[in-house]
């Protein structure tokens, strides 16, 4: 099991990025959450198998499409947590 905090920078607010991250997580059996930050970035805490996490991160790095732009992704290992869903936090 892999547990990560992922900070995504670029044009990632107001473009459906949190919804996109939730859909990617559900598709890859990832649990955790996603939230906008005051500095315009997005933070994700995610947990899943090594393979599922790799697929999830590949999708996140591409971004949801035309109106968004992912400039940088910072990834850090964190302590495991208990969850059975991937939520959008406000």
For residue 43, list its beta bridge partners: 7, 35
Catalytic residue among 35, 36, 37, 89: 36
* Marked catalytic residue, from 18, 28, 35, 69: 18
Catalytic site includes residue 55: no
**Residue 7 designated active-site:** no
Q: Is 25 helix (H, G, I), strand (E, B) or coil?
A: helix
Give the residue numbers marked as catalytic: 18, 36
């Amino acid at each position: 099991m892999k547990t990560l905090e992922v900070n995504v920078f670029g044009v990632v607010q107001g473009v459906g990025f949190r919804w996109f991250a939730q859909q990617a997580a559900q598709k890859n059996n990832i649990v955790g959450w996603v939230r906008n930050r005051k500095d315009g970035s997005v933070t994700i805490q995610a947990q899943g198998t090594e393979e599922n996490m790799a697929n999830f991160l590949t999708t996140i790095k591409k971004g949801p499409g035309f109106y968004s732009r992912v400039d940088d992704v910072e990834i850090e290992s964190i302590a495991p947590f208990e969850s059975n869903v991937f939520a959008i936090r406000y």
